[in-house]
Amino acid sequence: LENQPIPPLASEILASEISASEILAKIPGATTDLARAEAVWSTLRAGPAGAIAPVMTQNNHPLASAPEWDVVICGGTLGIFLGLTLVKRGWKVLLLERGQIQGRRQEWNISRAELEVLVRLDLLSLQELEAVIATEFNPVRIQFEGGDPVWVENVLNLGVSPLRLLALLKQKFLQAGGTIQEHTAFEGIEIHPNGVEIATSQGPLRSRLMLDAMGHGSPLVRQARAQERPDAVCLVVGTCATGFEGAEGASTQGDLIVSFTPIQNQCQYFWEAFPAEDGRTTYLFTYLDTHPDRISLTQLFEAYCQLLPQYQGTPLQHLTFQRALFGVFPSYRRSPLPPLGDRILPVGDSSGAQSPLSFGGFGAMLRHLERLSFGLDEALAADLLDRQALGWLQPYQPNLSVTWLFQRSMSVGINQTLGPDQINQTLSGVFAQMSALGEPTLKPFLQDVVQFPGLFQTLLRTGLLRPWLVLKILPQVGLGSLVTWLGHYAALAGYSLLARAPGFANNRGQSPALQSGQSIRFHGRFYWRRFQDALHYGSGRDYHDC
């Protein structure tokens, strides 16, 4: 494997005679999906729209009658995971979804170690877990133009069927006593001292707590971020297709991140590829800001169609496209998003808790599922549902904040002039050092869990062995970003030290969480546990290896 060649040159394979629009026309719904994603991207590039009608308001009078629900979760994709953990702890939970609770066909890629939280939390049995895994493959490759491939095992190497997973969770949620209201849209929320009144398309509801799981487009997030431009966006285009069979490893190997072209259109293109139940998924993704002159998704899809044959060594004519995939993932330095008000907490994509480097929101939810489940259970038991207490459930995470600089070093400013291969050279150099340090450094990083020891050693080795790389990155990312980053880096060091200190370590493994209904005598205990969680997760100690 070490000596596996990088993809063949375009000249070595058949020239493509199929255009991007012809491919789109052949896939049912693809043109509409692209237009929808393009509209989201155009809105982000246009910048803040000014004042918007607020969907959240405050009312200082108590609700006329007691809330009928402990928790109302708006949004039934990732929302159902927390719905099930909370209903299993005895809380009265309503799950509200404007459409149907139904997963998409396209797999979510994840690692087994990350997925196993579903068994640890008793949401799925081992057999049920196996049943939702659509594909499993190994190894996966990391490679940048001009550098050697690095192969790792058990990272994003499972394809989980969202369709099967959500169907199972929905059934279990109902069996456990949860209530589902589909085809019901959240329209607004009024916060009272003793609960919230939620306006829906089917009438009002009262609850003690509302979880916003309505994704990046959540009306509450729109209100909270009305005046903000995303600090960065990850644009993704791709397809799932059959016909790659001739290509080596098409059904047994994946690519985690690969690049084989220089900077073009002020973008560095990265690729990802995974064996899938319906063929092989290939994504082209790039990191950029929201400048109005940025490339459109349609242009990115054209680049994808043009480069795919070179990437996979298969002419487009040989492929049968099952579906096309588009994603616009905004990320904000002000993340995770703090609660908008008392009794409201954003979870999933709406919380911005995922790394700006990845578009793995499902993975991010599973990584935090135990922490959020225990924390919400304790907050409900102690009736600590004000904004400040809930803020402790989406705390500052220095290991998330340090990734901003990596994201900057993988993107090009709209007016910036970089050497065409600068990003490839930087990444090849840094990954070579990480690879030399071994899997304990490489694997957590590849799963979006940055840990101080690995980061420190990588920076030290790169600085000593390839100092010119560091000198080139500095003007690229800018002094301001570097200074901010140093603050997060120092915080990461502090969190890592404290998280290991006796008395501070998160010892949930030894002391079980509070049982549902059990009251917490001292609110201090809630805050202490959240502080432990913040240290534990903020320093990457939550990483489970496989």
Where do contacts with ligand FAD occur on this chain (CB under 6 A)? 74-79, 96-99, 108-110, 185-186, 213-215, 219, 236, 325, 327, 348-350, 359-363
Judged by CB, which is closer to ligand FAD: 147, or 327?
Answer: 327
- Report which of 360, 371, 289, 278 is spatially closest to residue 323, judged by C-alpha positions: 278
Judged by CB, which is closer to ligand FAD: 210, or 267?
Answer: 210
CB of 349 to ligand FAD, least distance (A): 3
Judged by CB, which is closer to ligand FAD: 322, or 350?
Answer: 350
List the structure tokens of 85. Answer: 């953990």
CB of 188 to ligand FAD, least distance (A): 10
CB of 472 to ligand FAD, least distance (A): 31
CB of 202 to ligand FAD, least distance (A): 11
Contact present, 260 and 6 (Cβ < 8 Å):
yes
CB of 370 to ligand FAD, least distance (A): 17
Q: Tell me the residue number closest to ligand FAD, measured at CB.
A: 361
Judged by CB, which is closer to ligand FAD: 326, or 485?
Answer: 326
List the structure tokens of 31. Answer: 């043109």
CB of 184 to ligand FAD, least distance (A): 7
Judged by CB, which is closer to ligand FAD: 84, or 214?
Answer: 214
> For the residues of 241-305, what is the DSSP string, one character each?
EE--TTSTTTTT-EEEEEE-S--BTTB--EEEEEEETTEEEEEEEEEE---TTSPPHHHHHHHHH
Q: Which residue has the tokens 């940048």?
A: 144
Judged by CB, which is closer to ligand FAD: 96, or 432?
Answer: 96
Q: Which residue has the tokens 């998280």?
A: 499
CB of 113 to ligand FAD, least distance (A): 14
- Report which of 541, 532, 538 is spatially closest to residue 375, judged by C-alpha positions: 532
3-state secondary structure at position 223: helix
CA–centroid distance for 215 within its chain: 11
Q: Is the dihedral of CA 427, 433, 438, 442 positive or negative?
A: negative
List the structure tokens of 355. Answer: 């790394």
Judged by CB, which is closer to ligand FAD: 117, or 477?
Answer: 117
> 171 Cβ partners below 8 Å, 6+ apart?
none
CB burial class (10 A; 0-12, 13-18, 19+) of residue 203? exposed
List the structure tokens of 219. Answer: 């009306």
Contact present, 244 and 279 (Cβ < 8 Å):
yes
- What's the rounded Cα separation, in Å, for the pair 226 and 542? 33
- Report which of 296, 72, 64, 355 is spatially closest to residue 188, judged by C-alpha positions: 72
CB of 191 to ligand FAD, least distance (A): 17
Judged by CB, which is closer to ligand FAD: 108, or 489?
Answer: 108
Judged by CB, which is closer to ligand FAD: 219, or 279?
Answer: 219
CB of 281 to ligand FAD, least distance (A): 8
